[in-house]
Structure 1
Amino acid sequence: MRSVERVRDDACPGGRGHTAVVVGSDDGLLDVVVPWLEAGLAAGDVTVLSCAEETAELLRSAVGAPDTELLSDPRVALRGARAPDAVVATRRLLDRAAASPSGSLRVLGAPEFGPDPRTWREGQRYESVVNDLLAGSPLDALCFYDQRQLSAEVVASAGQTHPHLLLDGVRVASAGYLPPAQYLPALPLPREPMEDGPPLFAVDGAEELAPLRHQLAAVLATCVPDREQVGDLHLAVSEIAANAFRHGTPPVSARVWASPDRVVCTISDRGAGFADPLAGFQPAHGDDLSRGGMGLWLARKLWDHVDLVPGPGGLTVRLSSPLH
């Protein structure tokens, strides 16, 4: 019989934090996770599953809790959502938890990393930045990394992006943890393969923002068949171009590459770029969108992959997405 007392918080007073656990079977998952979920329900936490629906059903059955008690929100773990929207979803759950008996939120997550290193990087970034974005919140998040589904590289990154690990039912400090300001710059930023070929569109030394925006709209319209997607992609790249003109150092350059299933766009200037590792994961000025500061945030909301690539000649913002 499983015991709630098995999960001890020796290195995390109050039982709150961002913790990872590695599992390799359904039984191993249940042994670790069920006591942790039961503890949250017993304490009156708002308790949420953010994982594949079949896993959620397995856990509900094992806990014996209906979905009215053991809630589900896949977005928190990047399932059907990009990082800025996952952060918003978590904050809304925190607002809901504020009215709960404990005032706390407990989230079990199986982060979505996708099929290749490009998508792994987005998941790893998110797992890192939430440590700062949600610092001080009444949140206990346990992320399980399933060795049957994730690459060895992704599993190994759990210790770098989580301040705590769950080992044999005991929460301990992760010796390999790196705060976002150290972890994010160390992530590799390989070139997109299309960057090695000729661009569909190229401009160097753009003199004004408005003509560049029109040019980008025209080229995206030729290579992005979905009208809604082309509107979203153009809105975001226009804001990145605006940032380059307003806050960067001229000259401003732009490139677009396209294939039948993917589009890549870069905006470059001679500036030093963003020092804040959290840039773009939330609006620069918080909830007051009237103050601006939304360019990189919109890009992360509307493009699948956003890379800030510093170089000796300045900063390049690289945007890429699969085509719908």
Structure 2
Amino acid sequence: MDPVAEASASQAEQGSGAAARGTRAPSSGSAFVHGAALVHSPGEAVGVAAAYVDEGLRAGDLAVLACAPETAAAVRRALGMRAREVEEDARICLVGARAPDAMAVIRQRVEQAATRGSGRLRILAEPLFGSDPRRWREVRRYEAAANALVDGAPVTCLCVYDREHLPAEVLGTARHTHPELWMGGVRVANSEYRDQTAVLRDLGAAREPVEAGEPVLVLDGVPALAVLRGELRHTFHAVVPDADQRADLHLGVSEVAANAFRHGRRPISARVWADGSTVVCTISDSGTTFSDPLAGFVPAHGDDLAAGGMGLWLARKLWDSVDLVAGPQGLTVRLATGLVRPDEGRGAA
């Protein structure tokens, strides 16, 4: 098993205690180096990025740019002839991909790096937040989860944040999810780095505006999985206009519902809210023994998909946002996504 798959599978199977390893103090001996550079301008960003990538190329690392096309082009110009050695893959920054897909790309790139040079993967990342707060949450969730799921793999990642143009909430992602800050080419421990389990659980407290209204579906004490799946299918047919998206959302939530019946405790309940632009669905059971916020970023049993453990992983691939909210009354899995019109293309969160 490759390093990322081994580390990820271990984290996924060991539960929330494994995520606590994300609170480790930054150390130059850590296999996964995750830093943030807070810059003041695009010009400074390009200078920092080019120096960082050049350092990796000189060390024999596989260098990959995961950033906007214009940023990648500027970094390549700064590198000159050495740019021919650099690859690009914006999926690592959730462009056209959700977090489980991005984790799979990192894994593939680690395998590629193992066959050349130093054996190390070096990623230059430009987190692309956009204007949607849901997207902000998902980038923060991904940044936090990576600290645990890539831990143990030979990866160096520098995420560049432009402090002059990004809102304070977004800059908080840099400060709270990166063990190291890179300033003037020097790596320093980040005193604002938080317990990553706490970061992930805090994200579960977020609510969509649609949830302030009345739900379009309320089910309590659901007697059987088939009943729940049928009611959700009927409801989604009414509130999700795009047929392909409707099928994807139902598949993802059906897996969550199956987990509730298979692994949770009854009674089981469900709620759906929709307003024409967003749909939110919650599935709740009465179990109190599972609360791992890392579940679903990778298949629970690694490469062996036949072994199961894909429910939350599939849900994270098909919905924009998936929260696991644990409490004294049980576990709620909360799924949210933006709706597309039938004539629109679908994009990842």
Scaled by the length of structure 1, what TM-score is found?
0.92
User: Deviation of residue 15 (structure 1)?
Assistant: 9.1
Other structure's SS at 1:64 match: helix
Task: Tell me if 1:69 matches 2:71.
Answer: no
1:194-213 superposed Cα distances (whole Å, 9 cap, x missing partner): 22222212211101001211
Q: 1:284 to 1:188 in 2, by over 3 A?
A: closer
Please show how residues 83-102 of structure 1 align to structure 2 within 5 Å: 83-102=99-118
Measure the CA separation in 2 of the matches of 1:186 and 1:201: 26
Change in CA separation of 1:97 and 1:249 when aligned onto 2, cut-off 3 Å: same
Task: Kindly indicate whether structure 1 or structure 2 has the higher relative contact order, using CA contacts under 8 Å at least 6 residues apart.
Answer: 2
Residues paired across the two proteins, number: 315
The answer (yes or no) to whether the contact 1:180–1:277 under 8 Å persists in 2 is: no
1:41-56 equivalences under 5 Å are 41-56=57-72
- Which residues of structure 1 form unaligned runs of 5+? 1-9
Q: Which of 143, 152, 176 does residue 160 from structure 1 map onto?
A: 176
Matched, 1:131 2:147: yes
Structure 2 stretches of 5 or more lacking a match?
A: 1-25, 341-349
Shift in CA distance, 211/186, structure 1 to aligned 2, threshold 3 Å: closer
User: What is aligned with 1:256?
Assistant: 272
Write the distance in 2 (CA, Å) between the matches of 1:260 and 1:65: 50
Q: In 1, distance between residues paired with 2:27 and 2:223?
A: 56
For 2:285 and 2:131, how far apart are their aligned partners in 1? 32
TM-score scaled by structure 2? 0.85
Structure-1 separation of matches of 2:119 and 2:307: 31
- Is residue 77–residue 83 contact of structure 2 (8 Å, CA) maintained in 1? no
Q: CA separation in 2, counterparts of 1:300 and 1:48?
A: 25
2:307 aligned residue? 291
Which SS does the other structure have where 1:143 is aligned? strand
Distance 1:248 1:114, change over 3 A: farther
2:90 and 2:221 mapped to 1: Cα distance? 43
Out of 203, 208, 211, the residue aligned to residue 224 of structure 2 is 208
Percent of residue pairs identical: 52
1:39 aligns with 2:55: yes
1:172 aligns with 2:188: yes
Q: Mean alpha-carbon deviation: is it higher for 32-41 or for 46-55?
A: 32-41
Partner of 1:199: helix, strand, or coil? coil
* Structure-1 separation of matches of 2:124 and 2:263: 40
Determine the structure 2 residue equivalent to 1:122. Answer: 138
The change in CA–CA distance for 1:68 and 1:207 in structure 2 (over 3 A counts) is: farther
Match of 2:293 among 250, 258, 277: 277
Distance 2:330 2:150 in 1: 31
1:213-236: CA deviation from partner (whole Å, max 9, x where unpaired): 112112111211211111110001
